[in-house]
Amino acid sequence: MRLLLSALLLLGLASCERELKYTYRDYQPKLVVNGLINNQDKISLSVSTAVPFGSSNDPEYLSNAKVSFFIDGVRQPDLPYDALSAKYLYGFPAMPGREYRVVVSAPGYPSVEGTAKLPSAGSFGKSTFQDSVATDSFGFPEGAITVRINDNSAEKNWYRIRIMYYNTTQALFDLLPVESEDPLVNQLASQSDGFYVFNDATFNGRNREIRFQTPFGYAQGTPRFLIEMENLSEEFYLYSTSLNRYENAGAALFREPIFVYSNIRDGLGIFAGASLFRDTIR
């Protein structure tokens, strides 16, 4: 009986085998261009090299690339390389409604290009802070920050929000670890680098308030908080959400591959825009 069961088990396993056909392609070197631009910070982008899957090498950031730059189809001076930031810089921020294009080349690599356009400036209301609105599990008082979005019904919008606190020791703004019971944030939004990313599908054309709980001990000195609110281009949104899925997927051996969105033609990376609004709470 045991011999029969073993034979049946082996037969079943053999019947489950499926030949996987894989066509191997030689690795083709590509340039990687990354530039997320907005209306408040000077335009900058990095240029690096792609590495093949399974390689232990780190990408190489290039200082000898040629970065041709166009605004609304009109060529501007090539972007110079800044050794301090390891990026190629343009001396001014981007402007909503204008189209920006980069064509990047480097010795030994095919040239690549990307186009970015900033969406219209988002309409955001004044953010507010209330202290001691609740207590945490240890009995310490919690505050609340409320951000306000006045959504435009005439267009589809994608948003990104981040809350910072003023670190009095280092005299700079650091990421504030906030939580929210709002389903828009804790169920529908994705998170990456402290940003909450979501679209207006559930409140298109309406004003929307989002309340965040702030932990004890962070509202010190003045200014207290900095809220960054952005109206994203669709390309920016697709990149942010796909990057979030990739970062949270883990390293399971048999999981489905996750591809990070790219809009760089003939290369990899992202060149996309956002209209940024910064609000300081004192």
pTM, full prediction: 0.83
What pLDDT is stored for residue 244 in this prediction?
A: 87
Per-residue burial over 195-221, b if 16 or more Cβ lie within 10 Å, else e, is bbbbbbeebeeeebebbbbbbeebbee
What pLDDT is stored for residue 9 in this prediction?
A: 44
Q: Which of 125-134's residues contact partners 24+ apart within 8 Å by CB, and which partners?
A: 125/149, 125/150, 125/207, 126/279, 127/225, 127/227, 127/279, 127/281, 128/281, 129/214, 129/219, 129/224, 129/225, 129/281, 131/219, 134/213
The structural domains of the chain, ordered by start, are 31-119+237-273 (2.60.40), 124-230 (2.60.40)
Residue 18: pLDDT above 60? Answer: no
Q: Report whether 210 contacts 180 (CB < 8 A).
A: yes
Residue 7: pLDDT above 80? Answer: no
Highest mean pLDDT among 192-196, 248-252, 258-262, 269-273: 269-273
Highest mean pLDDT among 33-42, 57-66, 190-199: 33-42
Q: What is the pLDDT of residues 49-103, one digit of tens each?
A: 988 776 777 889 999 999 999 999 999 999 999 999 999 999 999 999 899 999 9
What pLDDT is stored for residue 137 in this prediction?
A: 83
- Give the pLDDT mean for 160-164: 95
- Give the pLDDT mean for 32-45: 97
Angle at Cα 188 formed by Cα 183 and Cα 191, nearest 5°? 110
Q: Which of 179, 190, 276, 176 is nearest to 229 (CA)?
A: 276
Residue 21: pLDDT above 70? Answer: no
- Give the pLDDT mean for 142-168: 93
pLDDT band at 35 (very low <50, low <70, confident <90, very high): very high
Q: Report whether 65 contacts 82 (CB < 8 A).
A: no
Share of the chain above pLDDT 70, in %: 88
Share of the chain above pLDDT 90, in %: 62
Q: What are phi and psi of 12, to 5 degrees?
A: -65, -40
What pLDDT is stored for residue 25 in this prediction?
A: 56
Q: What is the pLDDT of residues 116-137, one digit of tens each?
A: 999 988 789 999 999 988 888 8
* Residue position matching structure tokens 């020791």: 169
pLDDT band at 22 (very low <50, low <70, confident <90, very high): very low
- Tokens matching residue 203: 């409140």
pLDDT band at 255 (very low <50, low <70, confident <90, very high): low
What pLDDT is stored for residue 57 in this prediction?
A: 79
What pLDDT is stored for residue 112 in this prediction?
A: 98
In this predicted model, which residue has the larger pLDDT, 20 or 36? 36
What pLDDT is stored for residue 93 in this prediction?
A: 97
Residue 6: pLDDT above 70? Answer: no
